[in-house]
Structures are given as C-alpha cells and as structure tokens.
Amino acid sequence: EDQVTQSPEALRLQEGESSSLNCSYTVSGLRGLFWYRQDPGKGPEFLFTLYSAGEEKEKERLKATLTKKESFLHITAPKPEDSATYLCAVQPISSGSARQLTFGSGTQLTVLP
C-alpha cells in the first residue's frame, strides 16, 4: 500500500530561522511527488511537482528536493506569512486513469515574528 509520512507534525520557527520539512514515501513506482501549501479554511495551493530523484525546484524562499525514498522542503529565512500547513503527496504509477494523489497528514509550520 502506498504511504506518505510527513515530519515533524508541527514546527515553530523564529523569523529568519531556516529549516527543512521531510516527506518519506513508499510506493511501488513514483509518477510524481507534489508539495502543496494549505492555509486555515482554504484549499491546498500547488507549490511544486518533482518527477525524478535528484530533481530540485525553487520558488522564493522554498526549495524542494527529491530522493528515491523522501523529499525535503527547505525554507530559507522564513517570514510569518510562510505560516501554513505544508502537504506532500505522491502520484503512484499504479494510480490508474485518475492518477489520484496520496497525501500525507502535513506539517503545520508557524513562523514567529
């Protein structure tokens, strides 16, 4: 069974304190790995897709990396507006015609001013 585990569950940082969020996954074959950001009361907002080990993508203070077993979301010099829940999801090769995503439970990030 495909599984996605995110750690830590919650993370509090001071503004400017860089850190990383972890997403470990178990799939029979990976079509893609996705990162989303979710604010309270809102739907997930797409950040990145990674397709192969060694791939990296960046957007402002965020950088996502991928290995064969896990992905990291690095946050450099975070600001309070980066506070949100960050969701990781995998799209297994076995996901059929829907190519549905299997989500982790998320990491709730709080950045203190």
Partner 1 sequence: NAGVMQNPRHLVRRRGQEARLRCSPMKGHSHVYWYRQLPEEGLKFMVYLQKENIIDESGMPKERFSAEFPKEGPSILRIQQVVRGDSAAYFCASSPTGPGDGYTFGSGTRLTVV
Q: Which stretches of the chain bind partner 1, using CB under 8 A?
A: 4, 32, 34, 36, 41-46, 49, 87, 89, 91, 95-106
**Nearest residue (CB) to partner 1, 28 versus 98:** 98
**Nearest residue (CB) to partner 1, 3 versus 67:** 3
Give the DSSP letter string of 26-60: E-SSEEEEEEEEE-TTS--EEEEEE-STT-EEEET
CB of 89 to partner 1, least distance (A): 8
Closest CA to 62 of 52, 50, 77: 77
**Nearest residue (CB) to partner 1, 36 versus 73:** 36
